[in-house]
Chains A and B, each alone.
Chain A
Amino acid sequence: AQSVTQLGSHVSVSEGALVLLRCNYSSSVPPYLFWYVQYPNQGLQLLLKYTSAATLVKGINGFEAEFKKSETSFHLTKPSAHMSDAAEYFCAVSDRGNTDKLIFGTGTRLQVFP
C-alpha cells in the first residue's frame, strides 16, 4: 500500500532562511507525488507535482521539490522563506496502478519568524 511520511510536524525558520520540508514515500509502483499547502481556514492548494518527467519539479511561490528514487524522498525546498509562507504543508502520493485517490502525509506546520 502507498504511504507518505513527513518528518517533523513543525518547522520554524527565520525570514530569508532556507525552507526544507521532508517527505518520504512508500510505493510498490512508480508514484505520482504532490505537495499541497493549506493556509488557515482554507482548503488545500497544489504547490507542485511529480509525474515522472523531470525529477526536479518547480512549483508556485518559489517552491521546488526533487524526486529521489534511491532515497524514496520528495523533499520540498524554498531558498528564502517569506512570512507569507507560514502554513501547513502536505505531501501526498497517488497510486498509479489503482484508483486515483491521494494518500496524504500528516502535514508539517511551517512557522516563519521575522
Chain B
Amino acid sequence: DTAVSQTPKYLVTQMGNDKSIKCEQNLGHDTMYWYKQDSKKFLKIMFSYNNKELIINETVPNRFSPKSPDKAHLNLHINSLELGDSAVYFCASSPGDRDSPLHFGNGTRLTVT
C-alpha cells in the first residue's frame, strides 16, 4: 500500500555498467519526477513526465534516459555509469497542480565503484 515505490533500494555497480531504477505510484497522479540528491543532500530535479509525456529535462547527460510506459510508472535507465553518478535518486509524483505537494519514494542509493 506504499504510495510511491522504487526498486531497488540500494544499487552498487562498477563504472561503465548500465543500470535501471524502477518507480511506480498508486496515487493516480498524472505527473512523475526524478530527483537526484548528492552527498551534500542537495536535491535537483532531473526529469518530469506528465501522462507519459516528457515535460522537464534539466540538462541531464544523455546517458540518463527516463521511460514512462504508463502514467503510474517512470523508470530511469543509466548507461555507462560514472563515479559522479553516485547519489540517491528519488522518484516523486503529484497531481500536477502547481500548489500540490510532491509525494516521494524512499530513494535508491546508487554507488558506482
Contact = CB atoms under 8 A, between A and B. Distances in A.
Interface residues of A, number: 26
Interface string A96-114: 1001111110110100000
A90 interface: yes
Nearest to B48: A101
B94 A100 contact: yes
A94 B42 contact: no
A42 interface: yes
Interface stretch (A15-23, A44-52, A61-69, A75-83): A44-52
Interface of A: 32, 34, 36, 38, 41-46, 49, 51, 88, 90, 94-96, 99-104, 106-107, 109
Most B Cβ at <10 Å: residue of A42, A44, A109: A44
B45 A101 contact: yes
Contacts of B33: 101
Contact of A100 (B98, B104, B107): B98
Contacts of A100: 31, 48, 94, 96-98, 100
B106 interface: yes
A106 B41 contact: yes
B15 interface: no
Interface string B34-57: 000000111111001000000110
